[in-house]
Chain A
Amino acid sequence: MSNRLTCITAVVLGLVMVPVMVPALEYQQAPMLAAAVERGELPPLEQRLPPLPMIVEPVHEIGRYGGTWHRMMKGSSDFHAYSRLVYEQMVRWQVSETGGLEVGPGLVREWEFTDSDRTLRLHLRRGLRWSDGAPFSADDVLFWWHHIANDANLSGSLPAYWKPDDTPMEVVKADSFTVDLRFSKPYPLAVMYLAFKGNQWPLVFERSGFFAPRHFLEPYLPQAGAADVATYATFEQAANDFNPERPVMSAWRVKEWEPGNHLLAERNPYYWKVDPEGNQLPYLDQIRMEIFLNTEMINFRAVTGMLQMQQRHFTRENLPLLRSFTEKRDYSILTYEAAGIRAIMPNLQYPGDPALEKLLMTREFRIALSLAIDRDLINRLCYDGTGRITAMKLHPSAPDYVELTHAPNYAVYDPERARALLDSIGLDQRDADGYRLGLDGKTVSLIMELATVVGPDMDAVEIVRSQWEAVGIKTALKPEERTLYFQRVAQNGEHMIGVQGAEATFPLLSSARWFSTSLWCEWGHHWARWHLSGGERGIEPPPEVKRLQQLQAILSVTVDADERKRLWQEVMRNHAENLWVIPLVSQATSIGVVSNDFGNVSERGVASWVAMTPGYLNPETFYSKSARALTTMDGR
């Protein structure tokens, strides 16, 4: 709450635009920077900070300078392990008063919709500097837009979220610190996308972003129309997130990158945030990422107490092990909420067998399957009772969170009713082995495909299989290599039943499994194809699904908060009544470890890709209680 207030204060002060502000605060810097200033290697702090630095309220207390954050990273495709620590978007997710997530200021100190909600005006913070001291301005955004996002050789095509209604947005520089985004229709999601994708390009393999250091990259820019791929490779090398030469806007900058070995990041002397006492952030001198290739090494490091704070790559089954060493190695277990919904998603347009397609499309059949599952047992056996049993509903952390009332709940265990339902839809005949026969006289034989082979999620599905068999439905499991799984689902839609998770905090940003509008939707691949091709290909969905598809379109242009909540209720009710997918048990928490020496790490949080956890928890305020600050820039 107070955090939010300070932000607003900062915004208000910014609006007044006093050219020379008498700093309300006395600014301090880390010893290693002070020493560098003394040696004349850095300009004084006042010249490095913007006139109005962003003030960040630590979650617990004012920290102290120094310390190294030891973490681990699995290969370079696990770039999130680092990039989430240097989460610096145009706007940022922050914790709302209700404990959910909301969008707050970042590089953009303020924004507003104009032109009937069709133009989003962004006010950049003034006087910001890149980590090499060069000023940051609207040109850096425009550089990205003109030379990266719109160059097919670098970006393929413009990301779909920047061309709502298939019309690319326009990016217009109003002045050096003001940028207008113009859309063809109201586009409230743009703010969320700025919080989600508003980072410095390219975020390694994700290749998304919203700005890039023009002054640094311009020399590498390939000549317009040059087809020579080599020049693009050079450009990519320079822009690469792990390039130590590349200037950044984040709290730390990469200092050493030894692929396959380690990554060392060091504080950014030009970082533009301070704590309420005026100490320039971050507190921690450096981040050390050990690159590991064997997943087990992370448990190894954790139980030997060598990780300061990490919640990637831990699995629940290792929790007892991690707990066993908390005292001995002086760390604590971190449990953040995970907001995914794990569900069994039958392919409702299953192309393999018309009889089976019809059966899967029968609502009562899906309800019976749902009632046959003892989710409490699964929760106890696979998730130590910490799992969450939920239908397709928004998680409380969702910005649009709203409760769904008076909806049917089929996520209960009632095998008798399941049997009765199955009998009632004509599956009352059994084969020699006791399995139910379909209406075509053949044994109903289900295959669940999933992209995991081991772990509690697999065990859970295994229990489902036995429980479906217990009500007479022959079921097989087909664990698949994930490449194959996604090929079968997203490219061909040829799977029978998929088991996957759906996003519950930001469904609009990861909407595949909610609205049947993406080919990644296990339960509505061919309906989505129909929708995406304007009715040319795919299969025409039933009215209920058409309504869902429509709802997504409406939600994406609705700015009014109450209206959005109403729309969301309709979406959830649609799911609850039709039971398009059969909810399973979702891992409700994501676990991690945090050294007891580490301060300002919030005990509560949401583990989310969109929110870049722990990025939104202000890692620049994390600090080590015992560490001595480095006094040279070359600390090892």
Chain B
Amino acid sequence: MLTYIVRRLLRLIPTLIVISIMTFIIIQLPPGDFFDSLQAQLAESESRADQQAFDALRKQYHLDKPLWKQYLFWIGGCVQGDFGYSFEWRRPVADLIGERLGLTFVMSLGSLVFMWVVAIPIGIYSARNRLSWSDYSLTFVAFIGLCIPNFVIALIAMYASVFWFGGSAGGLFSQEYKYAAWSLAKVWDLLGHLWVPVVVIGAAGTATMMRLMRTSMLDVLDRAYITTARAKGLAERWVIYKYAVRVAINPMISIMGMQIPQLVSGSIIVAIVLGLPTTGPLFYRALETQDMYLAGTFLMLLAVLLLLGNLLADILLALVDPRIRLE
């Protein structure tokens, strides 16, 4: 197992190199650079700075160098944990992303928990009562959840919070805790706000998982070993939870590794609409302003997360399903 993981990790290296090059190309694609976009932006808001002043800044940030050199600067730094510098925020990218990454993960984990807690029981219920009215209506609700664009759900949530609940949402903290140091009260406040984005982000995923769990359960419930378990004299409850769910949940567990990176990228739009202090809006902003190391690092980070998620998925599946051996 350990050698397998090490081997897989080693195999990631060439993949990562190619991905980093592709990322760099992608973030370099838009014409111009950060200072061009800044200049236009400043001109729009009627302030202006001299071309020469910008050229001086370009030089400071190595933007006057050829592309391949810029790439080597960046990737060389990445290896040492320095992901470059954000032009707009004048901070190392690592600091910026780091600050928001925590909340991003908390939110994604929250959505993950939400998805599991809601989807799995409903999936099981739906499968056990297949083709009943409750199954039909749950399926229908799940489909609706899948079909509403999550930014629309986010808009509705925003509307509700401003006009019905007096505007406590929009962000993850109340005014009095927004800038306060971490404390139990602040965590509590966070939890009070977190559920809105968690539900909005988790909606589509919950629907998908519910469908998956239902299918998986249906498949497993028809297996002979379920009958065997019943024939043993096991109570129905145990037949379902110990035998059916234990196997039916394997595919869910194996996708769990992928769910976190998927949730992180899926939350971008929702976070933009709801104005959440997570990494997504920062990435969007970086794309707008061509703050390329910030955008590139975020893209790379998610790619790495996805690759690790893949690995994690394989490992998890091997852990829960004795039939699978990692070699």
Please give the residue numbers on chain A whose beta carbons come within 8 Å of chain B beta carbons, in ascending order.
Answer: 70, 75-78, 80, 152-157, 159-160, 205-208, 229, 232-233, 236-237, 240, 242, 256, 258-262, 264, 288, 290, 292-294, 296-297, 300-301, 303-304, 306, 451, 482-483, 485-486, 503, 510, 520, 609, 636
Task: Note all chain A residues with C-beta closer than 8 A to B91.
Answer: 259
Render B44-57 as a binary contact track against A, CB cut-off 8 A, 1 for contact. Answer: 11111111111111
Our pick among B53, B89, B170 for the contact of A207 (Cβ within 8 Å) is B53
Q: How far is the CA of A160 from the CA of B49 in the complex (A)?
A: 11
Q: How far is the CA of A237 from the CA of B92 in the complex (A)?
A: 12
Decide yes or no whether B205 CB sits under 8 A from chain A: no
Interface segment among B119-127, B175-183, B218-226, B315-323: the answer is B175-183
> What is the minimal beta-carbon distance from A155 to any residue of chain B, in angstroms?
6
A232: nearest residue on chain B (CB-CB)? B60
Render B74-110 as a binary contact track against A, CB cut-off 8 A, 1 for contact. Answer: 0000000000001011110001100110000000000
Our pick among B56, B59, B180, B272 for the contact of A294 (Cβ within 8 Å) is B272
Our pick among B56, B179, B277 for the contact of A152 (Cβ within 8 Å) is B56
Contact B285 A609 (CB under 8 A): no
Contact B162 A304 (CB under 8 A): yes
Task: Note all chain B residues with C-beta closer than 8 A to A160.
Answer: 50
Contact A156 B90 (CB under 8 A): no
Contact B60 A233 (CB under 8 A): yes
Contact A259 B90 (CB under 8 A): yes
Question: Which residues from 299 to 325 on chain B have a C-beta closer than 8 Å to any C-beta of chain A?
Answer: none
Our pick among B36, B38, B45, B282 for the contact of A293 (Cβ within 8 Å) is B282
Please give the residue numbers on chain B whose beta carbons come within 8 Å of chain A beta carbons, in ascending order.
Answer: 31-32, 36-57, 59-60, 62, 86, 88-91, 95-96, 99-100, 158, 162, 166-167, 170-171, 175, 178-181, 272-273, 275, 277, 281-282, 284-285, 289
Between-chain CB contacts (< 8 Å), 28 pairs: A76-B88, A77-B38, A80-B45, A152-B52, A156-B51, A206-B42, A233-B60, A236-B90, A259-B89, A259-B96, A260-B99, A260-B100, A261-B100, A261-B277, A262-B178, A262-B179, A293-B281, A293-B285, A296-B273, A304-B162, A304-B170, A306-B175, A482-B40, A482-B44, A485-B40, A503-B46, A609-B45, A609-B46
Q: How far is the CA of A192 from the CA of B186 in the complex (A)?
A: 48
Q: A77-B41, A636-B181 are in contact. Are A240 and B53 (CB under 8 A)?
A: no
Q: How far is the CA of A154 from the CA of B42 in the complex (A)?
A: 19
A241: nearest residue on chain B (CB-CB)? B90
B290: nearest residue on chain A (CB-CB)? A483
Contact A296 B56 (CB under 8 A): no
Q: A208-B49, A229-B59, A293-B285 are in contact. Are A300 and B162 (CB under 8 A)?
A: yes
Q: A483-B32, A636-B180 are in contact. Are A510 and B46 (CB under 8 A)?
A: yes
Q: How far is the CA of A236 from the CA of B166 in the complex (A)?
A: 43
Q: A207-B50, A297-B275, A636-B181 are in contact. Are A260 and B282 (CB under 8 A)?
A: yes
* B interface secondary structure, majority: helix
Our pick among A156, A262, A290, A451 for the contact of B50 (Cβ within 8 Å) is A156
B36: nearest residue on chain A (CB-CB)? A483
A155: nearest residue on chain B (CB-CB)? B53
B170: nearest residue on chain A (CB-CB)? A300
Contact B56 A293 (CB under 8 A): no
Contact B89 A260 (CB under 8 A): yes
B39: nearest residue on chain A (CB-CB)? A486
B54: nearest residue on chain A (CB-CB)? A156
Task: Note all chain B residues with C-beta closer than 8 A to A288.
Answer: 179
Q: A155-B56, A236-B60 are in contact. Are A205 and B162 (CB under 8 A)?
A: no
B95: nearest residue on chain A (CB-CB)? A259
A157: nearest residue on chain B (CB-CB)? B52
Q: How far is the CA of A498 from the CA of B60 in the complex (A)?
A: 34
Contact A153 B289 (CB under 8 A): no
Q: A483-B32, A636-B180 are in contact. Are A259 and B86 (CB under 8 A)?
A: yes
Task: Note all chain B residues with C-beta closer than 8 A to A229.
Answer: 59-60, 62
Task: Note all chain B residues with C-beta closer than 8 A to A297.
Answer: 170-171, 275
Q: How far is the CA of A510 from the CA of B56 in the complex (A)?
A: 23
> What is the minimal beta-carbon distance from A430 to any residue of chain B, in angstroms?
39
Contact A303 B167 (CB under 8 A): yes
Q: How far is the CA of A306 from the CA of B161 in the complex (A)?
A: 14
Contact A75 B42 (CB under 8 A): no
Contact B44 A451 (CB under 8 A): yes
Given A259-B89, A260-B89, A303-B167, 20 more pairs with CB closer than 8 A: A70-B175, A77-B289, A78-B45, A152-B52, A156-B53, A156-B54, A205-B49, A229-B60, A240-B90, A259-B86, A259-B90, A300-B275, A303-B162, A304-B162, A306-B175, A482-B41, A482-B44, A483-B36, A483-B37, A609-B47
Contact B56 A154 (CB under 8 A): yes
Q: How far is the CA of A578 from the CA of B40 in the complex (A)?
A: 30
Our pick among B56, B166, B273 for the contact of A153 (Cβ within 8 Å) is B56
Contact B44 A636 (CB under 8 A): no
Contact B167 A304 (CB under 8 A): yes
Contact B285 A75 (CB under 8 A): yes
B166: nearest residue on chain A (CB-CB)? A304
Q: How far is the CA of A306 from the CA of B92 in the complex (A)?
A: 31
Task: Note all chain A residues with C-beta closer than 8 A to B95.
Answer: 259
Contact A80 B47 (CB under 8 A): yes
A154: nearest residue on chain B (CB-CB)? B56
Task: Note all chain A residues with C-beta closer than 8 A to B272.
Answer: 293-294
Task: Note all chain B residues with C-beta closer than 8 A to A157.
Answer: 50, 52
A608: nearest residue on chain B (CB-CB)? B46
> What is the minimal beta-carbon distance from B14 to any residue of chain A, in angstroms?
32
Contact A292 B181 (CB under 8 A): no
> What is the minimal beta-carbon distance from A611 to any residue of chain B, in angstroms?
12
Task: Note all chain B residues with C-beta closer than 8 A to A503.
Answer: 46
Task: Note all chain A residues with C-beta closer than 8 A to B56.
Answer: 152-156, 232
Our pick among B37, B44, B90, B284 for the contact of A76 (Cβ within 8 Å) is B90
> What is the minimal beta-carbon distance from B80 to any residue of chain A, in angstroms?
16
> What is the minimal beta-carbon distance from A532 to any residue of chain B, in angstroms?
14
A256: nearest residue on chain B (CB-CB)? B179
Q: How far is the CA of A155 from the CA of B100 in the complex (A)?
A: 33
Contact B281 A294 (CB under 8 A): yes
Our pick among A155, A293, A296, A520 for the contact of B284 (Cβ within 8 Å) is A293
Contact B39 A206 (CB under 8 A): no
> Which residue among B38, B167, B281 has the maximum number of chain A CB atoms within 10 Å of its CB?
B167
> Which residue among B54, B60, B90 has the maximum number of chain A CB atoms within 10 Å of its CB?
B90
A202: nearest residue on chain B (CB-CB)? B53
Our pick among A155, A159, A242, A290 for the contact of B178 (Cβ within 8 Å) is A290
Contact A156 B170 (CB under 8 A): no
A78: nearest residue on chain B (CB-CB)? B45
Q: How far is the CA of A54 from the CA of B281 in the complex (A)?
A: 43
Contact B179 A636 (CB under 8 A): yes
A501: nearest residue on chain B (CB-CB)? B46
Our pick among A206, A292, A303, A486 for the contact of B275 (Cβ within 8 Å) is A292
Q: How far is the CA of A27 from the CA of B139 in the complex (A)?
A: 73
Task: Note all chain B residues with C-beta closer than 8 A to A78.
Answer: 45
Contact A205 B42 (CB under 8 A): yes
Our pick among B43, B53, B62, B277 for the contact of A486 (Cβ within 8 Å) is B43
Contact A294 B60 (CB under 8 A): no
Contact A76 B89 (CB under 8 A): yes
Q: How far is the CA of A77 from the CA of B95 in the complex (A)?
A: 18
Q: How far is the CA of A160 from the CA of B50 in the complex (A)?
A: 9
B45: nearest residue on chain A (CB-CB)? A80
Task: Note all chain A residues with C-beta closer than 8 A to B285.
Answer: 75, 293
Contact A153 B100 (CB under 8 A): no
A298: nearest residue on chain B (CB-CB)? B275
Closest 10 CB pairs of A and B: A156-B52, A304-B167, A259-B89, A297-B275, A293-B281, A483-B40, A207-B53, A609-B46, A482-B40, A157-B52
Q: How far is the CA of A300 from the CA of B272 in the complex (A)?
A: 13
> What is the minimal beta-carbon distance from A243 to any residue of chain B, in angstroms?
9
Contact A75 B88 (CB under 8 A): yes
Contact B96 A301 (CB under 8 A): no
> What is the minimal beta-carbon distance from A139 to any residue of chain B, in angstroms?
24
Q: How far is the CA of A510 from the CA of B42 in the complex (A)?
A: 13
Q: How far is the CA of A617 from the CA of B281 in the complex (A)?
A: 34
Task: Note all chain A residues with C-beta closer than 8 A to B48.
Answer: 206
